[in-house]
Structure 1
Amino acid sequence: MFERLERAMGARLGRPCLYVPSNRFGLFIALCHWMKPGQRLLMSPISADEILFLVLAAGLRPVIAPICPRSGNIDAASVANLRFDGVLTTNMYGLPDDVVALGKICAEQGIPLIEDAAHAMQTTVANIPVGTHGTAGVFSLSKHAGAAPGGMVALASSDDRPALKELRDRWLTPRYRATEIASLVKMIARNAISGTALAQPAWWLAKAWGLQEQREGHRIALRRNALAPRLAKWLSPHLGLTALDPWIRADNHQFRMRQSKLVESYALGRLKALDRQRERRLNGVRRLAELKTVAQAVRNHLDQPLFRVPLLVDDRDRALDALRRHGIITGYIYDPPFDDYAPGLTEPSPAPEQARWWARHVLPVDPLHVDRAWPVVAALSSGIPPEVWTP
């Protein structure tokens, strides 16, 4: 299944790879393989909604870490007193987690380091790709590459591949050709109109037709009354995947559907396009890094073609509206942090204020669309209060 794509990603990453139909599905099988139900997983409070639910579906207890205010990622220097049995990084917007420090902690404790590299297809640390520093890294093909729905698990050891492949094949759902083609057409259209004058009317049309997930603010509705009995009743982590499917599938209802060679061919073409975009992306990162509102970590990674450049601004919602009028639809906002979004379902952060502040102020900007976004972002004022921000 998808051997050509696995070889292409393996050559890019220097690790054996296993194709999965989505990043979230890849993370789920990785957590099920390397961790046991009931164990504690250290994770960032600022990540996509489905990540929290797939961790719960794997039977794990989310332990929410303090974040570094420079990057929005786990603050590795502040986790010594927390109890956990594994670590899941985020690499927010392509800014790398401190995998050196986290890797050392995991090695000393003999626990897995799983890298969520969905935002970090082209990011490196010490010239080594993000996603290849830990036990496993899980990539998304639909984000940086703009390919069809799909992902890739990069493994430190090929010995783990058969067991992961068995898990993958066991929990895949049947392929529906019409659904697959519709997803491809949607992705092609999105790539074509992204950052153009057509983006805003397409966004409003999708919203009017109910094609977007219903949200409360920037998060999907928790629906605690529906969630609680499902959390209480599952008998194994794999039943948990089915039980929590309505939450895990947000914005990707085919996250575990089998795919065909048609998807593989399109994804291979998009990987080549990704490489051609590298210089444009780097130029956009460097230009946005000139703004006083840019997150401080960006200035330390001007050689990285980031997925998004995080700005930290006073009135984020007003900025979102202004960007939409310029054809820039800004997603990937994770507000509020998980321990505020789902109290009681996590072990809360011992230092939550930094994450609350970051989630409230962050504005991720696509560096490929810097020219269209510039009239808006250049006029924004900073949301960095001196008593909170400590560069």
Structure 2
Amino acid sequence: MSPEELIARRTGRRCLPLPSNRLGLYLALRHWTSPGQRLLMSPISADEILFLVLAAGLLPVIAPLSRRDGNLDLSRTDLSSVDAVLTTNLYGLPDPVAGLAGKVVIEDVAHALETTVGGRPLGTFGQAGVFSLSKHAGAGSGGVLAVESGADLKALERARDRLLLPGAFAADLAAVGASIARHAVTTLELVRPALRLVRALGLVEPRQGYRIPLRERELKSALAAGSALRGRASQGSSLTDPPDDRLADPLAALDSWIRADLHHYRSRYGRLSRRYQAHRLGRVPRDRAARLAGIAMLAELPSVAPAVLDNLDQPLFRVPLLVSERDPAIAELERHGVATGYLYDPPFDDYAAAFTEASPYPGDARWWARHVLPVNPLRAHRAWEVLKGLSPAPSPAR
């Protein structure tokens, strides 16, 4: 069974296969919004998400953040001031989707493949749910876009095909090989030497702290070029039906930002990758019991984010702890063979102030970004000796 068939079985929706979650988010944003519109989004998410929003010509309106889960705080948000909402479902904890009825909602379900709300899978509440096959499944590549309407699916498929770049068997083989190697490193408990090797070889994307360099002047020029390209390519606002869209490449201007850590995010994958993605996705249910056991173990820590205690039945991608000395803890975990990733610090409105509308309540997001330590529940036992000695982060002043 293909990855899209497996996601369709879970969601009951029509599903489109993609080379990455990134391309799916861009397609959904271009399909359901128009350039110039205001998009509410979390201050805490992956770098490339912000650049995808900018590439779609939207204004990122940064939402207040909930200290309970690191997601949108709707109690302090004026939804009437925005045209659409992009959820994050950080580490698998669900955004407050029930409070978004009546809005255009694009669900980023990369971290929340198995999360449900009221028994209903995330990815089925908004106009679109965009899944990743490289998180829970660990396939290293691939994504699926889930939608309700057959007409939307056909339009999005046409749009996808206009943006796909040719693939190559060598790239397929490299992607599958890299994923297999990552799993072998974890299984054989070689994380620490593997981290030293990839850093020594320069295989890690250059970063300033936990974000890729913004290159503000270059980004402004790229956005201006992208805006001019959209104007020439189409008199409309949708990617799916403009008369001359085949002559344009709306992602090209921001490609060097969007592709960080995944340079083949819009390359067409072949049979080898597709089979491997389906294989990895099919294995996800086997890890459910172990994942839940790790979550229950980590939930005993005084530093665990409060919302985890409300979601002990959800097989989260990571368990967020909020600790006093986060960076020394990361170094100590590495010495114990446990890698830490998926850190998004600083918040978007500090990282890219010139390109966003700042949150009216930035303090909670800054506190969360500085103190959160996401832990893989499947590695809870190996990390336990370090984690149990960590002090909870002091509550932020309001």
Q: TM-score, normalised by structure 1?
A: 0.95
Cross-structure match for 2:94: 96
Deviations 1:175-216 (A, max 9, x none): 021111111100111122226531111111111111110000
Cross-structure match for 1:199: 191
Q: 1:360 aligns with which of 346, 357, 370?
A: 370
CA contact (8 A) 1:59 1:236 kept: no
Segment drifting more, 175-184 vs 43-52: 175-184
Cross-structure match for 1:142: 134
CA distance in structure 2 between the aligned counterparts of 1:135 and 1:236, rounded to whole angstroms: 27
Deviations 1:328-379 (A, max 9, x none): 1110000000000001100110100000000000000000000100011111
Q: 1:8 aligns with which of 6, 9, 15?
A: 6
Segment drifting more, 237-246 vs 310-319: 237-246
- Using the TM superposition, give the Cα deviation of residue 272 of structure 1 relative to its aligned residue in structure 2, in angstroms: 2.2
2:389 maps to 1:379: yes
CA contact (8 A) 1:289 1:299 kept: yes
- Matched position secondary structure for 2:6: helix
CA contact (8 A) 2:3 2:144 kept: no
CA contact (8 A) 1:134 1:156 kept: no
Cross-structure match for 1:61: 59
- Using the TM superposition, give the Cα deviation of residue 240 of structure 1 relative to its aligned residue in structure 2, in angstroms: 4.1
Query: Quick one: structure 1 residues 87 and 364, their matched pair in 2 at CA, closer, same or farther if it must change by over 3 Å?
Result: same
Q: Which amino acid aligns with 1:48?
A: A
CA contact (8 A) 1:148 1:266 kept: no
CA distance in structure 1 between the aligned counterparts of 2:42 and 2:285, rounded to whole angstroms: 29
CA distance in structure 1 between the aligned counterparts of 2:134 and 2:153, rounded to whole angstroms: 23
- Using the TM superposition, give the Cα deviation of residue 263 of structure 1 relative to its aligned residue in structure 2, in angstroms: 1.2
Q: 2:150 aligns with which of 133, 158, 165?
A: 158
- Using the TM superposition, give the Cα deviation of residue 148 of structure 1 relative to its aligned residue in structure 2, in angstroms: 3.7
Deviations 1:291-335 (A, max 9, x none): 000000000000000000000001100000011111111100000
Cross-structure match for 1:289: 299
Q: Which amino acid aligns with 1:342?
A: A
Q: TM-score, normalised by structure 2?
A: 0.93
Q: 1:17 aligns with which of 12, 15, 18?
A: 15
CA contact (8 A) 2:292 2:312 kept: yes
**Runs of 4 or more consecutive aligned structure 1 residues displaced over 6 Å after TM superposition:** none
CA contact (8 A) 2:71 2:90 kept: yes
Q: 2:315 aligns with which of 286, 305, 312?
A: 305
2:195 maps to 1:185: no
CA distance in structure 2 between the aligned counterparts of 1:10 and 1:260, rounded to whole angstroms: 21
Segment drifting more, 268-277 vs 235-244: 235-244
Cross-structure match for 1:50: 48
Q: 2:113 aligns with which of 91, 104, 121?
A: 121
Percentage identity across aligned positions?
Answer: 54
Q: Which runs of 5+ in 2 are unaligned?
A: 231-247
CA contact (8 A) 1:195 1:327 kept: no
Cross-structure match for 2:75: 77
Q: 1:351 aligns with which of 361, 364, 370?
A: 361
Q: Which runs of 5+ in 1 are unaligned?
A: none
CA distance in structure 1 between the aligned counterparts of 2:322 and 2:194, rounded to whole angstroms: 27
Q: Which amino acid aligns with 1:256?
A: R
CA distance in structure 1 between the aligned counterparts of 2:354 and 2:140, rounded to whole angstroms: 36
Query: Alignment length, in residue pairs?
Result: 380
CA distance in structure 2 between the aligned counterparts of 1:296 and 1:315, rounded to whole angstroms: 19
Q: 1:217 aligns with which of 184, 206, 209?
A: 209
- Using the TM superposition, give the Cα deviation of residue 82 of structure 1 relative to its aligned residue in structure 2, in angstroms: 6.0
- Matched position secondary structure for 1:88: strand
- Matched position secondary structure for 1:220: coil
Deviations 1:5-42 (A, max 9, x none): 32221012211110110001100011001111111100
- Using the TM superposition, give the Cα deviation of residue 387 of structure 1 relative to its aligned residue in structure 2, in angstroms: 3.7
CA distance in structure 2 between the aligned counterparts of 1:271 and 1:310, rounded to whole angstroms: 23
Q: CA RMSD in A?
A: 1.3
CA contact (8 A) 2:3 2:281 kept: no
CA contact (8 A) 1:155 1:161 kept: yes
- Using the TM superposition, give the Cα deviation of residue 386 of structure 1 relative to its aligned residue in structure 2, in angstroms: 6.2
CA distance in structure 2 between the aligned counterparts of 1:239 and 1:173, rounded to whole angstroms: 11
Deviations 1:26-67 (A, max 9, x none): 000110011111111000000000000010001111000001
CA contact (8 A) 2:163 2:249 kept: no
Query: Quick one: structure 1 residues 231 and 354, their matched pair in 2 at CA, closer, same or farther if it must change by over 3 Å?
Result: same
